[in-house]
Amino acid sequence: MASDNIRVLFIFEILGRPPEHIKATLSNLIDKLGEQKGITIVRKEVHEPKIAEKEGAKNQNLFTTFAEVELISDSLMLVFDITFNLLPSHIEILEPRSVELKNFDLSSIVSNLATKIHRYDELAKISMLEKNILINRLKEAEEKISNMERGIKTKRSKRKNSKKR
C-alpha cells in the first residue's frame, strides 16, 4: 500500500421494501463506489435483509440490511467525500496508524462539512415553513367545514320551525 493510501472499513445501512430491492440498491451503491477513481474495493459483504425492529417500521413491513465495505482510497479527501455524500453508519480507518494532514486539506474538509450543514439547515427551514403553511391551511379548511356544518344545522332548524307553524 502506498504511503498516501488509506484503508477504510465502511458500514452502510438501508431501510425500505421490498427486501430484494434494498439489497440490490445497496449492492449497486457499492459497485458505483468501486468505479470511482482513486477507490479500490478490497472486500464487500451485503447481508440478507431482515424485518426492521424499529418502532413504527415493523408495522409497515419495512426491511433493513447493511453492507461491510473495506476499501483503499488514494486520499483522505476521498474518504471524507464518501462520508459526506453516502453517510455510512460506521467508519473505521484501518491503515495507516497516523495521518498527516495539510492545512489546505483540513480547510477543504471543514468547508465541505460547513456546506453540507448549511444545505441541511436550509432543507429543515423549508420543511418547517411548508409544515406551518399546511397547518394553517388545515385550520382554514376546518373552520370552513365547521361554518358549513353550522349553516346546514341552521337551515334544518329553520325548516323544522316553519313546518311547526
Is 3.30.70 the CATH classification of the domain at 6-100? yes
pLDDT tens per residue, range 35-74: 999 999 999 999 999 988 866 555 578 899 999 999 999 9
Backbone conformation region of residue 35, classed left if phi is above 0, alpha if psi is from -120 to 50, else beta? alpha
- The pLDDT > 90 percentage for the chain reads 63
Mean pLDDT across 136-144: 94
What does the domain layout of the chain look like in residue ranges?
6-100, 101-165
- Say which DSSP state 11 is in: E
Residue 158 has pLDDT above 80, yes or no: no
Question: Any residues with CB less than 8 A from the CB of 86 and at least 6 apart, and which?
Answer: 10, 12, 29, 33
pTM to 2 decimal places: 0.69
Q: Kindly tell me if the per-residue pLDDT of 3 is higher than 60.
A: no
Taking the C-alpha atoms of residue 30 and residue 39, their distance in angstroms, rounded to an integer, is: 11
